[in-house]
């Protein structure tokens, strides 16, 4: 690992100016779980690390007064998992955060850093996408707000400009009767990165089988998380039965563009997405679960 200068700006504006001046020689560091690994492996060799740890604007988890959440970019995964506000307003997000990677990463890594790294095989982006979350970016030029779909551009690529940092994530309020399930499939129990993830958020009528609204996002098997709008539209207004769940899962599997790599072929991933999606829909609507499709969500 090459030597570097460690900078500690106190404001968003100061951090932004540093990033603008230093250009490609600088990297932002928050929790550092991914960045330090890349530097140790000599994949990255910045001359300057710009720490955002002292910027108060990036801290905290707060309710927005309308049933939604503001999650500061410096909130650790463990903070999100344990937050009473998150557990109350978006329990599916707390459930997801409690399973990210391993305890070391959950207690060090931040939700903002996770989104900036844009790892296709990580958990938060897909879950946040199903929740219609927004990402707030800031620089010396001001702030702008993007949806998760706008923010994530490609494999390890985001819409961040060179002088911008992530300030916070906003999770809008969930309508009454809305619940969520986040499922992940691991090839082995020892793995920390899912091969497949499915986030499903649905509003159903009085805890029954009728689905009024649905949002589905698949991650880990695609270059960036993917919203499945055809399957969402099919679900809305239907009573969810095992046959309906199976049809939804087939739509989900057909409408993604899975990657193929050493961890699994595109067709294997498609098959696993189909199985996990069926089980995830079934879990939220209380359908019987069987053992088909690998480990349980």
Dihedrals phi, psi of 193, to nearest 5 degrees? -110, 125
> Is residue 172 within 8 Å of 183, Cβ to Cβ?
no
pLDDT digits (tens, 9 = 90+) for 49-95: 999 999 999 999 999 989 999 999 999 999 999 999 999 999 999 99
- pLDDT at 290 (0 to 100): 64
Rounded distance between C-alpha atoms, residue 197 and residue 89, angstroms: 22
pTM over the 0.85 mark:
yes
Helix axes 242-255, 266-284, angle to 10 degrees: 150
- Number of Cβ within a 10 Å radius of residue 153: 14
pLDDT band, residue 46 (cuts 50/70/90): very high
pLDDT digits (tens, 9 = 90+) for 191-235: 889 999 999 999 998 778 999 999 999 999 999 999 999 999 999
Question: Among residues 106, 110, 94, which one has the least CA distance to residue 167?
Answer: 110
The whole-chain average pLDDT of the chain stands at 95
pLDDT band, residue 292 (cuts 50/70/90): very low
Arithmetic mean of pLDDT, 25-44: 93
Arithmetic mean of pLDDT, 273-290: 93
In order of their start, the domains of the chain are 5-51 (3.30.43.10), 56-171 (3.30.465.10), 179-284 (3.30.390.50)
- Number of Cβ within a 10 Å radius of residue 25: 12
Question: Among residues 78, 75, 42, 44, which one has the least CA distance to residue 61?
Answer: 75
């Amino acid at each position: 690992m090459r030597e570097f200068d460690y900078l500690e700006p106190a404001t968003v504006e100061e951090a932004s100016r540093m990033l603008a001046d230093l250009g490609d020689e600088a990297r932002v560091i928050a929790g550092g779980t991914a960045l330090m690994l890349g530097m140790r492996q000599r994949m990255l060799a910045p001359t300057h690390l710009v720490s955002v740890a002292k910027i108060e604007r990036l801290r905290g988890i707060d309710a927005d007064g309308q049933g939604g959440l503001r999650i500061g970019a410096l909130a650790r995964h463990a903070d999100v998992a344990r937050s009473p506000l998150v557990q109350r307003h978006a329990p599916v997000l707390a459930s997801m955060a409690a399973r990210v990677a391993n305890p070391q990463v959950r207690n060090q890594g931040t939700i903002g850093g996770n989104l900036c790294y844009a790892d296709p095989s990580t958990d938060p982006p897909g879950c946040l996408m199903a929740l219609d979350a927004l990402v707030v970016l800031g620089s010396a030029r001001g702030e702008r707000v993007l949806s998760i779909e706008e923010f994530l551009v490609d494999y390890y690529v985001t819409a961040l400009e060179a002088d911008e940092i992530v300030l916070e994530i906003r999770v809008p309020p969930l309508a009454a009767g809305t619940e969520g399930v986040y499922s992940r499939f691991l090839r082995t129990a020892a793995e920390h990165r899912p091969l497949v993830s499915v986030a499903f958020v649905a509003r159903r009528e009085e805890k029954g089988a009728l689905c009024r609204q649905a949002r589905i996002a698949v991650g880990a098997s695609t270059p960036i998380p993917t919203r499945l709008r055809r399957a969402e539209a099919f679900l809305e207004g239907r009573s969810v039965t095992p046959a309906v769940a199976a049809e939804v899962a087939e739509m989900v599997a057909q409408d993604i563009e899975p990657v193929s790599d050493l961890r699994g072929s595109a067709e294997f991933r498609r098959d696993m997405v189909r199985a996990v999606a069926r089980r995830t829909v079934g879990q939220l609507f209380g359908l019987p679960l069987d053992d088909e499709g690998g480990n349980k969500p």
